[in-house]
Chains A and B, each alone.
Chain A
Amino acid sequence: MFERFTKDARAVVEGAVGHAEREGAARVEETHVLLSLLDREGSRGSFALASLGLPPGGRAGLVRDLDETRRRGGLSRADADALSGLGIDLSEIVSRVEETHGEGALAAAGRGGLFGGRSGRRPFGRGAKDLLTGTLRVAVAHGERHIGDEHLLLALTTRRGVPSEILADHGVTHASLTRVLYGDSSGGEPGDAAEAKAG
């Protein structure tokens, strides 16, 4: 599959590994792929983001939202909202845990070892692996032989979870991406999109 990846798509995958390593994460997750996608300039994915109001210099808000989510132990704003429906104040829990265990304690909980980060190459987590497989499906559905970083971005938006939620909060959805990449007439990957929504 990787031989079909364009230079940009390969760079995104490599960059995702780098993000996971710098974070001290045990595995490469979809959030690392998103961070890496946001680093790109001059690629098709980057142009698509720019068309949706997120040029290379204007993606700090998205990165900040991802950071906040990590600080909450990977729980998104929608998760926090659902919890507040139960009377649970997630931000209160986060700040109390941080008071006792230090800043970013919940974020650190998701890291590989209990005793510091591992060295060596990170494996891809299940979600990130599924994302790569989904990317192939997206490219094939659009009749494209090569897999570009725009397909990684599209595949991310069809999946449940933090990356697609944060992207949607910033106006990047499967529908809006399909529009800027392929024009209104193309239906994109309706199967995947419907699947993601119907869950």
Chain B
Amino acid sequence: MTEATNLAERAGDRDPRVGLRAVAALRRLLEQLEAVQVRSARNQGWSWQEIAAELGVSRQAVHKKYGRH
């Protein structure tokens, strides 16, 4: 049995593992989506300030995370 089917079967049991796993997966997905969007914005000439404003974070935060590459 794969881990995926295992989890699917537990989903009905309100196993906290399923919910926690979903949150962790969502967090990772969010990180990847953010990187895709930030890269796209930079490629279109957006400033760090503009990107930060859309993301609702400080310019420093977004620059520190993506700037030095």
A residues with a Cβ closer than 8 A to B are 73-83, 85-86, 88, 90, 93, 97, 100-101, 105-106, 108-110, 112-115, 118, 165, 168-169
Contacts and interface: CB of A to CB of B under 8 A. Distances in A.
Contacts of A113: 69
Contact of A106 (B11, B22, B36, B38): B36
A82 to B, nearest CB: 4
Given A78-B4, A109-B31, A112-B69, 15 more contacts: A78-B3, A80-B4, A81-B8, A82-B7, A82-B22, A83-B22, A83-B26, A85-B22, A97-B33, A106-B33, A109-B36, A114-B69, A115-B39, A115-B69, A168-B3
29 contacts: A73-B32, A74-B28, A75-B25, A75-B29, A76-B3, A77-B4, A78-B3, A78-B4, A78-B6, A78-B21, A81-B4, A82-B21, A85-B7, A97-B36, A100-B40, A101-B40, A105-B36, A106-B36, A108-B36, A109-B32, A109-B33, A110-B32, A113-B69, A114-B35, A114-B38, A114-B69, A118-B69, A165-B3, A169-B2
